[in-house]
Structure 1
Amino acid sequence: MMQGAVVVWILSALVCLGTGHPHKGREDLGTLKQKSVLTDYGQKAPSVHEDNSADHAANSLSMVTSANKGFAFNLYRKLAAQTDNQGKNIFFSPSSVSLALAALSVGARGQTHQQLFSGLGFNSSLLNQADVNQAFHGLLTKTSSEDISAGTAVFVDNKFKPQPEFLDALRQFYLADGKNVDFNNSTESAAAINKYVGEKTHGKIDQLVEDLDPDTLMYLISYVYYKGKWKTQFNPAATEEEMFNVDGQTEIPVQMMYMEASFDVYYDKQISTHILRLPFNNSYFMLLMLPDGGLTQLEEHICPMHYAKWLNGMRRKKYMILVPKFSIKTKMNLNNVLRQMGITDVFGAAADLSGIAEAVSVSEVVHQAALDVDETGATATAVTSVGVVMKSMMDDVPELRFDRPFMVLIADSSNNILFMGKIINPNL
């Protein structure tokens, strides 16, 4: 039987399903009656009130959080190694990617499910789907405030009827919104998806989709939005134009922000890299990684072990820091990268997504994300003008000058990595 198609967009992460044999009927996720959720292949998952134990839930959350960190660095290394990404800025939300794929795994079975779990770094001998669902529910309810929001949504074609257990699980554990649309009307359905994404990203991304295949059956979207103000803000009056060394041969003018204060810093001698921690006025922070040479050695070695070493080894010291104002906006296809991470069957005829519907498979996984950094703070998924910092005139205070390619990530106090990337050219 010919497989249908699923498209996954991530920053928004989209799962679009199509099939040669449309299922008749219509169910709106928002109007489905609450049912028991079958998340572990026929085994009823414990509800929030019936959880086996607080210790088990906490242990599952810890394992999923640890796996998410490993997934973030693994995905970054794969993206950085892609030929198409050489010499380009990279920015993505590993939290959004793992959220979308974990939600997709609810409907996966057999080898397809095993590959998703393995690719995400979940130990299937210690974690089942119910554990993962509960863990993501905990992570999502934690990331709900004025500063940050995350969640999923399902746009279902009027003629398509996914398994109700799949929809129930997404609503209960992944906080999914549900909408019925007519994908035969591509203009109207694209407008509905873009309007939803625009609202969830506070207008920062409002054109997620353009052309929609009329054979589309479902889009599954995951989103992560963050806006934070620096705990200590840069003075805009101190921002001046300076040169940024892109590749040793190319210099470009940028607006460089300047601040002299005490910062948490670490120097990793093993990979000759300075690490700077810039806290926001909440529980989140930005980590900037500046290698003495090029980014290659840092990218080859970056992993959870180094990340933990940096944070644990940081000491507070007085520095002059110069950081460019910058905007990063990316859109990338993740199909090949996920295949390299062992997630292969989901894209072809071998896909078993029967927990969603029969004869469907993933056709495309695409990630779109953006970040804006200025004197006041940072907005993930925002795109704004590029700026720079004034250079220091004092010689007795050590200096950290981010005037060449560097890496960046945003994480919370539990070290959950929301966003990650590298800045090659602040003006792109």
Structure 2
Amino acid sequence: MGPAWLWLLGTGILASVHCQSLLAHGDKSLQGPQPPGHQLSEPAPAYRRITPTITKFALRLYKELAADDPGNIFFSPVSISTTLALLSLGAQADTSALILEGLGFNLTETPEANIHQGFRSLLHTLALPSPKLELKVGNSLFLDKRLKPRQHYLDSIKELYGAFAFSANFTDSVTTRRQINDYVRRQTYGQVVDCLPEFSQDTLMVLANYIFFKAKWKHPFSRYQTQKQESFFVDDRTSLQVPMMHQKEMHRFLYDQELACTVLQIEYRGNALALLVLPDPGKMKQVEAALQPETLRKWGQLLLPSLLDLHLPRLSISGTYNLEDILPQIGLTDILNLEADFSGVTGQLNKTISRVPSILQDRNTGF
């Protein structure tokens, strides 16, 4: 048998969507009056230990993707960070620390166990049922039938990440690839298809993450007010004719004079929203350079309801990133070399991560 390869796969259709419930504080008005000095407070959810780090990781990754290949960028930081954190459970101490520190965690301030409990809390919160939107995040591990995975690892990924492990015959790479693609397609209701590229018979493991989001706008766009074609300017010299949705509605909005950009928040039904940022002509790099968690917090405080005459293009995005080329640029170099130790998965000698593709598919902004 040739060298053993470990694949890491992230798939999804989640773009710039942020669940408000992840930032909302408990409504103390519902607790009733409390005697002085005996104020009751709900303990902070465990996910609050990790969401600031995920936000910073998302912005670091975005800037690297933008520098590497300017153009449309579409990825799910929750998918990628969750998959890497899950992988760290199967790594020995040094490699596990490299992964979590590469994501941006300070292991002195936030112990490893707290990080995994934070991801467990985050995934549980995202999975809470809602009658107004659907958000589904899943992780699955496909292991070659020749491997004997450690039961402790299987128990840990199921308890903390809700991940299921499946036995597969990787010597029949064509059939196994089809089976994994079919599994992800079913889990995402047919929206994510052919997510797994071809792989060799030396592959022994595939770790897959999928994420599915579907919701309607709080203020729907009328299909009858969607112009068939309008000019959308890509840059000063290039314009495209695209379908443009139109409405006059109240939305939270601001113009940031310092950064020279317009910021618009559009709500979905349920606890989700989209944040759109439109730089002034020639100011894209300036805005990208200023993207920090503090910037997002500032915008959240300054957004005010405004009656807008809104024109928004309908869009559909899909793309593939080879993250093994990107992750080393943001501090995750050593997980891709022969020294990385993932023997915690099966107890066998090191398995090398050969590829980290991320395949994203989105239908459109919709009505």
When normalised by structure 2's length, the TM-score is 0.86
Report runs of 4+ in structure 1 exceeding 6 Å deviation: none
Pairwise CA distance, 1:129: 2.6
Instruction: Map residues 280-299 of structure 1 onto 2, 5 A cutoff.
Output: 280-294=268-282, 295-299=284-288
Residue 256 of structure 1 deviates from its aligned partner by 0.7
SS in 1 for 2:213: strand
Give how far 1:220 is off: 0.9
Contact 2:219-2:249 at 8 Å conserved across structures: no
2:9 maps to which residue?
Answer: 9
Which residue does the alignment assign to 1:206? 193
Q: Which residue of 1 aligns with 2:357?
A: 366
- Residue type of the partner of 1:10? G
How do residues 134-283 of structure 1 correspond to structure 2 at under 5 angstroms? Answer: 134-144=117-127, 145=129, 147-240=134-227, 241-283=229-271
1:64 equivalent in alignment to 2:63: no
1:59 Cα deviation after fit: 6.5
Taking the TM superposition and a 5 Å limit, the aligned residue runs for 1:84-163 are 85-86=69-70, 88-144=71-127, 145=129, 147-163=134-150
Aligned letter for 2:50?
V
Structure with greater helix percent: 2
Q: 1:35 maps to what in 2?
A: none
- Compute the displacement of 1:187 (Å): 1.8
For 1:330, give the aligned amino acid.
G
Query: Match of 1:4, as an amino acid?
Result: A
Contact 1:57 1:131 (C-alpha < 8 Å) held by counterparts? no
CA distance change for structure 1 residues 73 and 56 in 2, over 3 Å: closer, same or farther? farther
SS at match of 2:258: coil
Question: SS where residue 328 of structure 2 aligns?
Answer: helix
Check 1:127–1:292 CA distance in 2 against 1; reply closer, same or farther (3 A cut).
same
Q: Secondary structure at the match of 1:308?
A: helix
Q: Which runs of 5+ in 1 are unaligned?
A: 14-54, 377-428
Distance 2:161 2:224 in 1: 44
Which residue in the other structure is 2:332 paired with?
A: 343
Q: Take 1:3 and 1:70, find their aligned partners in 2: how far apart are those partners?
A: 35
AA in 2 matched with 1:81 = A
Against the structure 1 CA distance between its residues 57 and 151, is the aligned structure 2 distance closer, same or farther, given a 3 Å change threshold? farther
Return the alpha-carbon distance in structure 2 between the equivalents of residues 253 and 131 of structure 1. Answer: 50
Aligned length: 331
Cα offsets for 1:83-122 (capped at 9, x unmatched): xx12x21100001000100101111223322221112111
Partner of 2:345, secondary structure, is coil
SS in 2 for 1:147: strand
Q: What percentage of aligned pairs have identical amino acids? A: 31
Q: Residue 307 of structure 2: which of 300, 318, 331 is its match? A: 318
The one-letter amino acid paired with 1:286 is A
Give secondary structure in 2 for the equivalent of 1:172.
Answer: helix
| 2:318 is equivalent to residue 329 of structure 1 | yes
Check conservation: 1:116, 1:343, Cα contact below 8 A. Answer: yes
The Cα shift of 1:248 comes to 1.5
Q: CA deviation at 1:210?
A: 4.2
What is the CA deviation profile of residues 215-239 of structure 1, one whole-angstrom value per residue up to 9, with x for unaligned ones?
Answer: 1111111111100100010111111
